[in-house]
Structure 1
Amino acid sequence: EDVKKAQKKWEEAEKSKGTSGASEQEAAEKAKQEGKPREKHKTKTGRSGDLKTKGEPNSSEDLYNENGELLQRRYYDKNGNVEYDIDYKHDNSHNNHKFPHGHEWEWKDGKPIRH
């Protein structure tokens, strides 16, 4: 009897692990689609180009300039690789950008390529 109860408890714990992993992934994807910060979110002050291409899995990071203006939000995938950027402000001397706008990232031969 006790063994059966223990087995059932273990199975329930394993089930909840699986769904929480899936729901974390779903929540991360939803935040990206909505352009919102993810549950795991950091901020940094610096200049354009200061955000890393590797980060905490399923996280996001905002880059602010020294005046406190949001420059960019970056999203990292389940492996911690950059997957998407939203640019809010950067040099636009040719006047050919609308803000905010997005950029997909692709990983090829272990190297990130921004589109």
Structure 2
Amino acid sequence: MPTYRVELDALLRALADPTRRAVVERLGKSPAVVSELAAPFSMALPSFLQHLRVLEDAGIVTSYKLGRVRTVSLRPGALDVLHLWLGEQRTPAEGQADRLGIHLSRTIPKGT
């Protein structure tokens, strides 16, 4: 069992909700203030803040407050655990196909 199982479970629980996935996708472009993040969703601000709290508790986002404005951003490397786990789930055949593709791209001249 991977030693990062607790972190992975929290990450997957946080990303299980479509609202939170949409927030992560939006933050992939750039940090944003809470009001901008909440605008596309038809829910009360306290409900939206609960979604942000879940993302923050899972270590996916961070936020800081300057005056009355709270800015949220993705935490660098936050999804690395998920990437690592997905890589471990790949079959050996997928790895062989990847290596073959890399080999062929190096040995076959372009344009042929």
Structure (1 or 2) with the greater strand fraction:
1
TM-score with structure 1 setting the length: 0.24
Structure with greater contact order relative to length (CA < 8 Å, sep ≥ 6): 2
Structure (1 or 2) with the greater helix fraction:
2
TM-score with structure 2 setting the length: 0.24
